[in-house]
Structure 1
Amino acid sequence: MSAATTLDPNPTTTTATRWSRLIDGVRESGQYPTRAEAERVTRVVLSALGGHVVGDERVDLARALPEEAARVVAGQIPATRPLTAAEFVDSVAARIPGATPATARWDVSSVLSVLGELVEEADPGLIDRVLAQLPTGYALLFGRAELVRRG
């Protein structure tokens, strides 16, 4: 089962079920041995992302996410400066005991690729808007090719 089939944008689906499906998608994508590990990594990545998405995109992102994920994203203080994609991965590595840049890159990509699918099903085009406000390089973390170099 792919992450896309794990996620359900149906508005009648409970937020707890959507959170569970997000975590299950991350567990599958990242090949984490336990659901608890996938949830821990998801929370760390979402908290890091929450400080870097601002304005209308932050509000729309929170609306498109399960309530539990929205609280993690919305509860972050905006970053004082945007991090490059590599710095973002390093910041996640610093939050995960024993992580290296390589394992953190795996964690970030595992979460953001599944998150991107979930958000796109709920609000098509939102991830493009989020990526437009982030420095170059984040598209790859969301599992997308970066076809246009932005300034």
Structure 2
Amino acid sequence: MHMHWDAFVSAVQERGEYPAQEEAERSSRVVLGLLGAHLVGEVRAELAARLPETLALVLLNPLQAHEPLSPERFVRATAAWIEGATEKTATWDVSAVLSVVADVAGEELVRRLLLQLPPGYDLLFGRPQPT
């Protein structure tokens, strides 16, 4: 299943409870750029195939990660790319985007994707939880 840009961004906007679509777009680009730097091979290609083209390109041409980021550092990196973000808002942003990614990818692909990531990311692929 391939999801269109509008559907993906709308889902992120709804899940992240963003007032503006631009915020959902920005979170999606940042989070998928960071995620793409952690994924390799078939898993990355399969995920890209299910994403809207714009986001697939972001996933496939990532900012190179020198080392895999722990979930905490992934959140911090997201906060650094989003103007005015804090760790708390960035955790929400990451979950909003990755929970939609999980819906699009399906359970089997998410399971394989988590094998390429440091422990703890399964929580970020769940729905955003108010802290």
Distance 2:92 2:48 in 1: 23
Contact preservation (8 Å) 2:33, 2:63: no
SS of aligned partner of 1:116? helix
> Larger C-alpha radius of gyration, 1 or 2?
1
1:140 maps onto 2:123 in alignment? yes
Corresponding position of 1:93:
79
Contact preservation (8 Å) 1:51, 1:78: yes
Corresponding position of 1:74:
60
1:58 maps onto 2:41 in alignment? no
Ranges of 4+ aligned residues in structure 1 off by more than 3 Å: none
Structure 1: segments with no counterpart, 5+ residues:
1-8, 145-151
Choose the corresponding residue for 1:48, options 15, 34, 37.
34
Contact preservation (8 Å) 1:19, 1:67: yes
Please, which moves more after superposition, 106-115 or 55-64?
Answer: 55-64
CA offsets 1:49-75 (integer angstroms, 9 cap, x no match): 111111221111111212111011001
Distance 1:115 1:133 in 2: 15
Shift of 1:78: 3.7
Q: Which residue identity lines up with residue 34 of structure 1 in the other structure?
A: A
Corresponding position of 2:104:
118
Instruction: Name the CA shift for 1:118/1:33 in 2 (closer, same or farther; >3 Å).
Output: same
Sequence identity percentage? 48
Distance 1:70 1:126 in 2: 15
Corresponding position of 2:9:
23
Contact preservation (8 Å) 2:12, 2:96: yes
Per the normalisation by structure 1, the TM-score is: 0.79
Contact preservation (8 Å) 1:54, 1:78: no
Contact preservation (8 Å) 1:50, 1:74: yes
The number of residue pairs the alignment matches comes to 127
* Coordinate RMSD, CA, aligned: 1.5
Corresponding position of 2:88:
102
